[in-house]
Chain A
């Protein structure tokens, strides 16, 4: 990764001071994962576009409220994208995504290349994705299942318990164990200390 470019902290601080170019730089860095996540969760290209734009408008408006204590910028930003996407599918009462996170040919098609994200960004994205999938695959299937139903399908723990016909306590335990295990895997791979 290019270490000479401004880091996230610097960019968000400049956004907080009303620097639109810094916002564009953050957009070029994160629009791809944001749009991809919104597409995956909503299964709807138009909704994903609206969510992507809304995420960066919120970054613009709320940059001064971002605090490093609350976690890295990428987590904050993808967290906003996740919330908006889940809100969208809950509002529609539709949860089009199945509980697996692997490649799915029914996913919205990618449009012709946008000129903004640089090729390095894309290569990093691919490597990152493979590494995350590898870490996920090391989880026991039942833990991975509850995590994916939570994160991608937007189900609450009570809904997951009902769907899988499991006691609520079991769902809670599996969620905790799964996320703790995933965290350990990611830490071991050095994927939680670097800028993801």
Chain B
């Protein structure tokens, strides 16, 4: 879409039609793409949307039935229900398909262990044992991650598929978002954990390969339950080599 910004009538015509919802669907897509990089048109649309929003108040006012509010509260409560802090099955979905049968058996054992850990997520002892084992290993090292008031320490043992991350300064998340941790070895980041934490997080990360295979770690905010691949910029990240 070519928008001549010196032609104020054209900008106003697009903004008006967009705000009223009467722009043709193809033009809507093009105009939205244009607005992503154009503050002038974004502002023009915001102005006109404010006017269009007022039109909504011109209709006869009706009382919504109480059941809408009750159902809304019920749906929101369902979304806010406590969820596991660790989502191991999401963290490792792909790799079962292309590893050797013996590894599959080992993987199943690992998954069972992971599930047990998930079930016993509140068992601090379990977590401490894992962390202790990581810290005690002579080969382990600590990787600091600091960015925008968020401070994290990642403990990695090169031969282990598990790592431990302690984070502080985590911004609060709405119920619809989770933090997701990624490790990178090739070109595609691998999800190693989905967490819903606020302030501080103490996370055990579970990867498909030993830590020495990875070159980068990062944490992103993702829709609840995590994403197959990152969809936002990392809030903290670091190279591992």
Complex Cα gap A133–B55 (Å): 9
Number of interface residues of A (CB under 8 A): 85
- Complex contact A60–B176 (CB within 8 A): yes
- Complex contact B16–A179 (CB within 8 A): yes
Helix, strand, loop or mixed for chain A's interface?
Answer: helix
The count of A-to-B residue pairs whose CB atoms sit within 8 angstroms is 205
B205 at the interface (CB under 8 A from A): no
- Complex contact B64–A176 (CB within 8 A): no
- Complex contact A107–B60 (CB within 8 A): yes
- Complex contact B75–A129 (CB within 8 A): no
A-contact bits for B52-80, CB 8 A (1 contact / 0 none): 11111111111111111101110111011
**Chain A residues, Cβ within 8 Å of B60:** 36, 40, 103-104, 107, 129
Give the shortest distance, in Å, between B11 (CB) and chain A (any CB): 10
**Chain B residues, Cβ within 8 Å of A179:** 12, 16, 19-20, 48, 51-52
The range of chain B's interface size is 35 or more
- Complex contact B13–A173 (CB within 8 A): yes
B202 at the interface (CB under 8 A from A): no
Query: Contacting A32 at CB < 8 Å: which of B20, B61, B173, B176?
Result: B61
**Chain B residues, Cβ within 8 Å of A141:** none
Complex Cα gap A180–B49 (Å): 11
Interface residues of B in 12-63 (CB under 8 A from A): 12-13, 16-17, 19-25, 42, 46-63
- Complex contact A20–B58 (CB within 8 A): no
- Complex contact B13–A183 (CB within 8 A): no
- Complex contact A78–B53 (CB within 8 A): yes
**Chain B residues, Cβ within 8 Å of A83:** 21
B-contact bits for A175-196, CB 8 A (1 contact / 0 none): 1101110110010000110001
Query: Contacting A186 at CB < 8 Å: which of B17, B23, B51?
Result: B51
B-contact bits for A44-64, CB 8 A (1 contact / 0 none): 000001001100110011111
B175 at the interface (CB under 8 A from A): yes
- Complex contact B73–A175 (CB within 8 A): no
A6 at the interface (CB under 8 A from B): no
Most buried by B among A71, A111, A160, A192: A71
Give the shortest distance, in Å, between A173 (CB) and chain B (any CB): 7
Most buried by A among B19, B46, B72: B72
**Chain B residues, Cβ within 8 Å of A178:** 16
- Complex contact B21–A114 (CB within 8 A): no
- Complex contact A72–B50 (CB within 8 A): yes
A92 at the interface (CB under 8 A from B): no
Complex Cα gap A191–B73 (Å): 32
Most buried by A among B12, B20, B56, B63: B56
Query: Contacting B63 at CB < 8 Å: which of A117, A126, A160, A172?
Result: A117
B151 at the interface (CB under 8 A from A): no
Complex Cα gap A150–B51 (Å): 13
Known: A31-B68, A157-B22. A125 touches B54 (CB 8 A): no
- Complex contact B20–A52 (CB within 8 A): no
Q: List 11 A-B contacts (CB under 8 A).
A: A18-B173, A18-B174, A20-B73, A32-B61, A33-B56, A61-B176, A78-B53, A83-B21, A116-B66, A126-B61, A183-B50
Which B residues are within 8 Å of any A CB, using their own CB? 9, 12-13, 16-17, 19-25, 42, 46-69, 71-73, 75-77, 79-80, 172-177
Which A residues are within 8 Å of any B CB, using their own CB? 15-18, 20, 23-24, 27, 31-37, 39-40, 49, 52-53, 56-57, 60-64, 69-72, 74-75, 78-79, 81-83, 86, 101, 103-104, 107-108, 110-117, 122, 125-126, 128-129, 132-133, 135-136, 147, 149-152, 154-158, 160, 172-173, 175-176, 178-180, 182-183, 186, 191-192, 196
Closest 9 CB pairs of A and B: A150-B22, A75-B53, A35-B64, A150-B20, A40-B59, A71-B46, A132-B58, A179-B16, A78-B56
